Structure 1
């Protein structure tokens, strides 16, 4: 006897149970090739047939219905941990993870993924504490739902129907030449007055005269500083990266090691994307490569800075990691340390608070005022796109454009007076 021919995926049946409930069934394809069945229920035959036909239409379009227990929170966790994390840098993953934990899941996490509506997304965005957080939540959810559509879990990305929240991005501060010189002078005075503090005057001056990112300077090692030829190799940056539990999968909220935080796990490990290049420093600090090829670059060291670095290198004290700048006991400086010590410089200089990236922005501004061609500025700053570079340009309307040689003399004489002050 020949076997009956199977109906194609997506076809379904309709029958009445003994309790009078009507059941519609649709065949669903699975990754292992086996058949599984999705069912819908209704008290009346007409309603059950409508539900079955709707489900069959979704399957025909490639939408694979998710489990009725799959919530927004469950999908976002899978999306972040299994789909995005293996392919993005740790800082990028942390950006998504924070949006999920703090701004999305608390408000719509229990909602079923298939039933999420645009109005619920708007509700979630209204709960955000700041416009920036709302924008982050919207972007993250939109990306996660786009992948859910691509995998056939849902038929429509409802976040696309919700307008992106408006957020007026704050412009980072910038120091013009006079205020930059004031900050440099204050940094020199602080270094001379407090022998117990980290020797960071040259770090701030290097920031102004190279445009390097904070992480690039914090991770700079002496074997990448060529004082003889006046070159600085910015091929690595120092970043803080969280470790993951290595003791096994959690059972609920508890890990086999008994510790909640991965940093306390005796088998803690790095959970980084395949091919992610790094070198261990100490604790959770890693040397990592810049995220773009343009970030890996050689930067010229102007003579006044070369003299300062040469003198800085001769300072006594432990330095187990061969770092150019570090704490007095030799430990690396974190980005939080960097921000704290920069704040002390501004306070001593009597200048308003601006974040440490203001140094890099100031370099971009001064280069622009010099009339340096954009492509040359991008090489110096280590930027891969014109749009990225233009985000760093702040035109000071109170200061007229000056000729290249005039501003060059101003910068060198400023740096030269600093060098003379520490001799």
Structure 2
């Protein structure tokens, strides 16, 4: 066993011999603890790692430094742009401010819980905290894989429990009222397409006329891609979008078509999302009318923004803001989000007794469970009729 001694500060210390460097240089790892017992336990861990892996790291980056490397060299090259943006937001706003200065080899379960607790005290939802847990799990799993740490501390922390969400879904009557009053909105045809297809935001605002015929081809969606410095930070400009050599962050093999600025058409993230659905009335007639009055644009988009005096693709965030204004103008006093129109479509299909497999095909879900989750829990009339039918089958008269 290596000799233990107390250094000038009174800390118990031991020097562990490691395999030499490629050039033959001697390598040692110093371990320091306040007590001899704690030092012996730490030494046992290091020696166990050496027996298992053949070596241990003698230096460790901070969480902040590792996050920069991880995002640039691993995530950006392998994940979809929207995922990259989501990860970066979580890291910059919630992980680095709390544990960014901590060395990887000093990370423990308490540090992970500290991040999640800070998010909870800030009023962030369980969904967002679960997302942060997932980001940290992936980030430190790669650190473990590259032998920067011996164990992923996130494995020791339970994922936050998912809260039961109350879906804000339009009723059949509200959907009918909206379709009738949409004529007062400049985006009337677009909102009708949302409700009558259950398609995602990017799929609708990225819809091109040459993909609308007997069917609607939902094989592309509009997204905003992030810029990265193409000069490796040498230009001195703070924003990558201002860099003279800026480039878009896209993984290898990622299909995309540039429209304008940071807006691109991209492929759906799964094969279930890449679908073609029949075009039937009333949407067929609605889109025929829309085509006659459509603004010509160089991209052939069915729906564009003309706020700047010239047609331009609709920014995803702008589409959400326009929906909120339209919803409020229609007298809907509940916070029904634009994405909730997909829930509404699933409810309408379910109420029409469409089978779950067909609903999956129409809205692009990969599993039946996902489609079932999109149904609202408040379709009391349908449940009442079902229970009455069951009672009648048992010989009890309905009320």
TM over 0.5: yes
1:126 to 109, 114, 117: 117
1:137 paired residue number: 132
Structure 2 vs 1, CA of residues 282 and 28 (structure 1 numbering), >3 Å: closer, same or farther?
farther
Q: Displacement of 1:51 after TM fit? A: 5.9
1:372 paired residue number: 354
Structure 2 vs 1, CA of residues 69 and 157 (structure 1 numbering), >3 Å: closer, same or farther?
closer
Q: Secondary structure at the match of 2:228?
A: coil
2:266 paired residue number: 288
Q: Secondary structure at the match of 1:281?
A: strand
1:259 paired residue number: 237
- Unaligned regions of 5+ residues in structure 1, if any? 1-11, 192-199, 249-254, 404-423
1:417 paired residue number: none
Matches within 5 A, 1:236-315: 236-248=220-232, 255-315=233-293
2:179 to 175, 184, 204: 184
In structure 2, C-alpha distance between the alignment counterparts of 1:43 and 1:334, rounded to whole Å? 55
Tell me, yes or no, if the aligned pair for 2:85 and 2:226 is still in contact at 8 Å. Answer: no
Q: Secondary structure at the match of 1:134?
A: helix
- Unaligned regions of 5+ residues in structure 2, if any? 386-399
1:414 paired residue number: none
2:74 to 83, 94, 98: 83
Tell me, yes or no, if the aligned pair for 1:215 and 1:238 is still in contact at 8 Å. Answer: yes
In structure 2, C-alpha distance between the alignment counterparts of 1:343 and 1:394, rounded to whole Å? 20
2:318 to 337, 341, 344: 337
1:396 paired residue number: 378
In structure 1, C-alpha distance between the alignment counterparts of 2:73 and 2:294, rounded to whole Å? 48
The count of corresponding residues between Structure 1 and Structure 2 is 373
Matches within 5 A, 1:20-419: 24-28=15-19, 37-40=27-30, 54-62=45-53, 64-128=55-119, 129=122, 130-132=124-126, 133-191=128-186, 200-226=187-213, 230-248=214-232, 255-315=233-293, 317-328=295-306, 329-352=310-333, 353-400=335-382
Q: Secondary structure at the match of 1:391?
A: helix
Q: Displacement of 1:322 after TM fit? A: 0.9
In structure 1, C-alpha distance between the alignment counterparts of 2:25 and 2:372, rounded to whole Å? 55
In structure 1, C-alpha distance between the alignment counterparts of 2:170 and 2:25, rounded to whole Å? 66
Structure 2 vs 1, CA of residues 163 and 53 (structure 1 numbering), >3 Å: closer, same or farther?
closer
Tell me, yes or no, if the aligned pair for 1:28 and 1:35 is still in contact at 8 Å. Answer: no
